[in-house]
């Protein structure tokens, strides 16, 4: 074991602060990574503040972060995919059981025995739970380490590991989007990636937003059109016209307004998870044979495919780079959706922490 620098929260009400944490020595299949950038995902904040207590109580100290990009510093003797000096990424998962039907189908994100990058019981016993990417280094089994295309801006790559795959997976799975009318509900960390991917797959992209002032930015990001969802007339004009809608809103919202936007056999997929159940009108689903789905991140193979796709299409997240010392302030801004569109922590700042 060795000590790594990190930022951790000591309780649900404590700010994140500088600390040291243990990391395991590089075992046979392990890759040790110097973390260069780590994105800030809303899940970090939920976990740090123990807001998902009923599903997954937070164990403190908590080191969040699962949008990790860095450089390989050491590899175990059995590692074949990486060598020292390679770029590498780590997302929401660092292990799974490898034997369940989901793992066998490359869908580790649905493995019932998965190990999350932070706040999951640590099988290696290095700590009580896993510690995430708000740190200067991490050690991960090579099967959960992704290759990162060399042509991309690394600060903007970090968020691809969660926000990227979360939106890429359902868009990719929907089928051929060429010329299809695709809606993206919400223009935040997830939504702005949804716009980029839907556009890259050839869709006609329409953004639904409550903020008039996001209009220009949505168009810049690749949207063909923007609908102000508070405007009933504007909504009515587009009723029944969408093939697919990606709903990225994690707050309570009127889902039927969007179901009614779908055409025949249209699908709306949730990637945000509102805490309160959604009030779904059966009539809205029946008339038009519409469907409402959910999707959660993606498997390791698909995450690699997404990163390669981003390399080929020069896609990264739009980020605001911050030093780790500003993380608590960034959380406050995140709550107010005051970021375009993801914070990416420059981990070199941890050297002076």
Whichever of 70 and 299 has its CB closer to its own copies, that residue is 299
Give me 292's structure tokens: 């409402």
- SS (HEC) of 51-111: CCCCCCCCCCCECCCCCEEEEEEEECCCCCCCCCCCEEEECCEEECCCCCHHHHCCCHHHC
Contact 109, 296 (CB under 8 A): yes
Query: Quick check: 107 binds its own copies (CB under 8 A)?
Result: yes
Rounded to a whole number of angstroms, the minimum distance from the CB of residue 270 to its own copies is 5
Residue among 151, 220, 283, 312 that touches its own copies (CB under 8 A):
283
Q: Report the length, in residues, of the chain.
A: 353
Among 12-20, 32-40, 195-203, 277-285, which window interacts with its own copies (CB under 8 A)? 277-285
Cis peptide before 32 (omega within 30 of 0): no
Query: Quick check: 288 binds its own copies (CB under 8 A)?
Result: yes
Angle, helix 163-174 to helix 189-200, in steps of 10 degrees? 40
Opening angle at CA 121, ends 130 and 144, nearest 5: 55
Rounded to a whole number of angstroms, the minimum distance from the CB of residue 322 to its own copies is 29
Residue among 291, 312, 329, 338 that touches its own copies (CB under 8 A):
291
Rounded to a whole number of angstroms, the minimum distance from the CB of residue 170 to its own copies is 8
Rounded to a whole number of angstroms, the minimum distance from the CB of residue 160 to its own copies is 19
Contact 161, 68 (CB under 8 A): yes
Residue among 83, 123, 220, 264 that touches its own copies (CB under 8 A):
264
Residue among 92, 290, 316, 319 that touches its own copies (CB under 8 A):
290
Query: Quick check: 110 binds its own copies (CB under 8 A)?
Result: yes
Interacting residues toward its own copies by CB under 8 A = 55, 101-102, 107, 110, 255-256, 264, 267, 270-274, 277-296
């Amino acid at each position: 074991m060795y000590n790594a620098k990190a930022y951790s929260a000591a309780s649900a009400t404590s700010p994140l602060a500088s600390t040291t944490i243990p990391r395991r020595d590089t075992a046979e299949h392990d890759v040790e990574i110097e973390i260069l950038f780590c994105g800030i995902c809303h899940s970090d904040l939920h976990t740090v503040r123990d807001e998902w207590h009923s599903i997954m109580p937070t164990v403190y100290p908590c080191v969040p972060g699962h949008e990790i990009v860095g450089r390989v510093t050491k590899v175990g003797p059995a590692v074949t995919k990486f060598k020292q000096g390679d770029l590498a990424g780590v997302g929401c998962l660092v292990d799974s059981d490898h034997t369940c039907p989901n793992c066998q189908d490359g869908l580790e994100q649905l493995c019932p025995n998965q190990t999350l990058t932070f706040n999951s019981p640590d099988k290696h016993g290095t700590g009580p739970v896993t510690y995430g990417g708000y740190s200067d280094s991490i050690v991960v089994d090579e099967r959960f380490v992704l290759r990162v295309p060399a042509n991309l801006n690394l600060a903007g790559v970090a968020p691809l590991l969660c926000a990227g795959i979360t939106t890429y997976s359902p868009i990719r799975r929907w089928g051929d989007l060429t010329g299809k009318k695709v809606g993206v509900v919400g223009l935040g960390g997830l939504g702005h990636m949804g716009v980029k991917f839907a556009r890259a797959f050839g869709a006609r992209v329409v953004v639904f937003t409550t903020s008039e002032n996001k209009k220009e930015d949505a168009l810049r990001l690749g949207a063909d059109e923007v609908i102000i969802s508070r405007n009933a007339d504007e909504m009515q004009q587009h009723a029944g016209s969408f093939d697919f809608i990606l709903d990225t809103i994690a707050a309570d919202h009127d889902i039927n307004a969007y179901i009614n936007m779908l055409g025949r056999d249209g699908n709306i997929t949730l990637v945000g998870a509102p805490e309160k159940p959604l009030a779904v009108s059966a009539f809205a689903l029946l008339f038009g044979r519409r469907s409402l789905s959910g999707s959660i991140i993606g498997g390791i193979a698909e995450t690699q495919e997404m990163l390669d796709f981003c390399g080929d299409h020069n896609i990264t997240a739009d980020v605001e780079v911050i030093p780790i010392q500003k993380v608590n302030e960034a959380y406050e801004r995140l709550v107010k959706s005051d970021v375009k569109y993801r914070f990416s922590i420059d981990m070199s700042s941890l050297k002076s922490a």
